[in-house]
Structure 1
Amino acid sequence: MAQPTVLICGAGIAGPTLAFWLARNGFAPTVVERSVGLRTSGNPVDVHGDATGIARRMGILPRLQAAATQAPGLTFVTQSGHRIGPLRLGRPRGDDVEVPRADLAAILCEAAADGTEFLFGDSITALHQDDGGVDVTFEHSAPRRFHLVVGADGLHSTVRGLAFGPEADYVRPLGLYIATLSLGQPAADPTTVLMYNQPGLSLTIHPVRGTAGAGFIFRGPKHPGAEYRDPEAQRRIVAGAYTRYVWPVPELPDLPDQVRGAQDLYFDAVSRVRLPGWSRGRVALLADAASCVSLFGDGSSLAMVGAATLAEELSAAPGDPALALRRYESRHRRAVNARQRGYRLGAAILVPATRAGLTARNLTARLLPG
């Protein structure tokens, strides 16, 4: 039997994790990534629970521990300047770690490099499948045929659009928006993650590892217009949302101007992705392309677990991809559904919609163990 070839779209978290395990189980993985290189920005994310065990088996846990932010739990800052916390709220425990997303992706890609072909600066433009495989057309590379194609390309998945249909059929914005940017300087408090709130708005300063990052979560329209996809408009939207209040944040003394001038602002709508099935023939979806909604930074852990589960099932049934994909989906949906059900609680904790809700959140937080 010829070595099965698998094209994986996306070099974020799930893609290289899947490639690592496939390469070690007799497959020939290729990862295609639209960006010309790995992203250097991104908010810190957790590697915890089953994902920590996966990292240990991959041999990368020591590197993740060396790259960890080492920040304690989240601390709320009240209007009077009083601090509540630090609170655990899903923070790493034991061997679990929190690392900048860019570092996690880089470490995973390096681990997968042995046995994996990477195509950076390219993207998929067409998919045509039959019973034996998938013919893939690329934007730049020559057309090729693969036994299987996996979309690990995020919320706005190209693979999902080509194989399953328009994004609007499966992606539902929830009226929350997230933006992050690097501040290019140390945090005023290098040992604490601080969250400031106003009704419908949160602003978090994370010390990361010496170069602070700012995170914005705010409530907005459930049906964003076309301007929400334009980077210049995104900077105006974030700056406008936060000019209604004065923010006592020393790292952002000129918050609106700093946001409007940011060149590396990440922005997206918090959305729920739901599909009746995660595969169509020999095309499958993984991580945020198949399902998402996480406000506590554990989406990366779910991505690693999903990738390892998919690789395990494909390895167990290399000649029957349909069976492998059904088993992968059955196993991993249970973990995903539990996280999606926690969205409302996460939103209520991180960005209360009203002044009364904010007061109630703070009163409750004072009672929580540190």
Structure 2
Amino acid sequence: MDADKREFVMQNRTVLVSGASIAGPAIAYWLDRYGFDVTVVERAPALRPGGQAVDFKGSVQRTVLERMGVYDEIRRRRTGATDMVFVDAGGRERARISGDFTGGDIEILRGDLAEILYGLTAQRCAYLFGDSVSALRETTDGVEVEFERGPARRFDLVIGADGIHSRVRGLVFGPEEQFVQHRGYYYAIAGKPPAGELADGPRRRVAPAYSAPGRLAVRGGPKAQSLYMFAAPALRFADDAEKRRVLADRFAGMAGAVPEMLAELPDCEEFYLDALARVRLPAYTSGRVALVGDSAYGNALAGFGTGLALVGAYVLAGELAAAAGDHTAAFARYERIMRRYAKLGGSSSPGPFLAPKTAWGLRLRNWFLGSRWFGLMDRFAAGAKDDIELTDYAGAVAR
């Protein structure tokens, strides 16, 4: 197909992206760059500020950031590395995880990253805040979309980039319990995370971590001001207040700074609690609908989600552009490419490792962190970060 015809085809292809956190604005950027007409819908009334720190690892993820033109800005707003130091009741160090391991090559607050990505697309893509998809009906030539608040509209394609509890996935693929696996642990983030840019630049921090069987509380942790993790079967919460009460009950009686952390909990404006869970899908696409990021291959706190989301957005949009909007061919290639790379997220969960359920498990964790085996694991993971060959889609489309 010649370049003029390809451009005409893509300019007449409308795409709805559900979700405006990370994966949504990322794929909106690439789709708009390739000539698609993009609308992004987001349930929240505005961009969500703050949140935990997220990171990028390896040359592949850096290449995607550089091709988006955001690497330098992310570097400017990066956070400092934080060492997680496991201490006993007396405050003595028992083990340590370096911030170089937890923070990847470059780390930034989720809210700052979302702001950067939104800034790339806000003037060129239509954003519908304070609304969400309520129904989807695929036809022979498009998808009829109903919204909770706005009028129904038709799109050629729909992309679900709406997180591990994806509304789009639920409407198209089936109930969440079929695909989202509870890992037997919950995590909570409370309080404002550290500022990314300090007067003298990002600095290294130390976050004391207090352990008990099945529980971990990190003061000033690498992912937020306070991080909690605890073992529990699937729970149901009536509201945010109940989540805070359950968290306080679970950590009652722990020593160190934990009582002080719990005392601050009721006044924390920023608070989030959810299950450690992973998404396992037989396919990332169905008809004219595709999933990207956590909605497709999320694995909470496994350490690779943000990088996977941006690489997935790059690949999905690139394949659609290379196929001149032929979603059947593009979706098939996206599946093949990302199925392998998504294994980077792996089947591992941080819960059993960081908060083992027995005293023996805690001692084993501390020993392992100081052993050469931990270093070998780190080196093995480093190789997997770049286990994908990135296509130069911009060059391919230009040809």
* TM-score, normalised by the number of residues in structure 1: 0.89
Which of 98, 110, 115 aligns to 1:87? It is: 98
2: CA distance, partners of 1:72 / 1:120 = 34
Letter in 2 for 1:215: L
Letter in 2 for 1:220: A
Task: Quote the offset at 1:124 in angstroms.
Answer: 0.9
Indicate the SS of the match to 1:340.
Answer: coil
2: CA distance, partners of 1:257 / 1:80 = 20
Task: Quote the offset at 1:260 in angstroms.
Answer: 3.6
Deviation digits for residues 222-250 of structure 1, max 9, x if unmatched?
Answer: x32x32x521211111111110322x12x
Structure-2 residue corresponding to 1:309: 315
Matches for 1:118-267 after TM superposition, within 5 Å: 118-183=127-192, 191-206=205-220, 213-221=225-233, 223-224=234-235, 226-227=236-237, 230-246=239-255, 248-249=256-257, 253-267=259-273
Letter in 2 for 1:159: V
Go from structure 1 to structure 2 and tell me whether the alpha carbon gap of 1:341 and 1:208 turns closer, same or farther (over 3 Å shift): closer
Indicate the SS of the match to 2:345.
Answer: helix
Structure-2 residue corresponding to 1:339: 345
Indicate the SS of the match to 1:90.
Answer: helix
Task: Quote the offset at 1:35 in angstroms.
Answer: 0.4
Task: Quote the offset at 1:88 in angstroms.
Answer: 5.2
Letter in 1 for 2:331: L
Indicate the SS of the match to 2:205.
Answer: coil
Q: Is the 8 A contact 1:44 1:297 kept in 2?
A: no
Q: Is the 8 A contact 1:161 1:167 kept in 2?
A: yes
- Is 1:325 the counterpart of 2:327? The answer is no
Which of 63, 71, 74 aligns to 1:61? It is: 71
1: CA distance, partners of 2:281 / 2:364 = 35
Deviation digits for residues 268-312 of structure 1, max 9, x if unmatched?
Answer: 111121121111110111111112214343211111111111111
2: CA distance, partners of 1:354 / 1:360 = 10
Q: How many equivalent pairs are there?
A: 356
- Is 1:8 the counterpart of 2:17? The answer is yes
1: CA distance, partners of 2:211 / 2:62 = 31
Percent identity, aligned pairs only?
A: 37
Task: Quote the offset at 1:317 in angstroms.
Answer: 1.0
Q: Is the 8 A contact 1:152 1:287 kept in 2?
A: yes
Deviation digits for residues 48-89 of structure 1, max 9, x if unmatched?
Answer: 222222111111111111211112443322344223335257
- Is 1:106 the counterpart of 2:112? The answer is no
1: CA distance, partners of 2:260 / 2:317 = 48
Indicate the SS of the match to 1:192.
Answer: strand
Indicate the SS of the match to 1:204.
Answer: strand
Gaps of 5+ in 2: 1-8, 196-202, 379-399
Task: Quote the offset at 1:131 in angstroms.
Answer: 2.1
What's the C-alpha RMSD, in Å, of the aligned pairs? 2.4
Q: Is the 8 A contact 1:240 1:256 kept in 2?
A: no
Gaps of 5+ in 1: none
Indicate the SS of the match to 2:61.
Answer: helix
2: CA distance, partners of 1:333 / 1:324 = 14
Indicate the SS of the match to 1:19.
Answer: helix
Letter in 1 for 2:245: R
Task: Quote the offset at 1:22 in angstroms.
Answer: 0.8
Letter in 1 for 2:232: G
2: CA distance, partners of 1:56 / 1:266 = 31
* TM-score, normalised by the number of residues in structure 2: 0.83
Go from structure 1 to structure 2 and tell me whether the alpha carbon gap of 1:195 and 1:298 turns closer, same or farther (over 3 Å shift): farther
Go from structure 1 to structure 2 and tell me whether the alpha carbon gap of 1:230 and 1:12 turns closer, same or farther (over 3 Å shift): same
Q: Is the 8 A contact 1:20 1:112 kept in 2?
A: yes
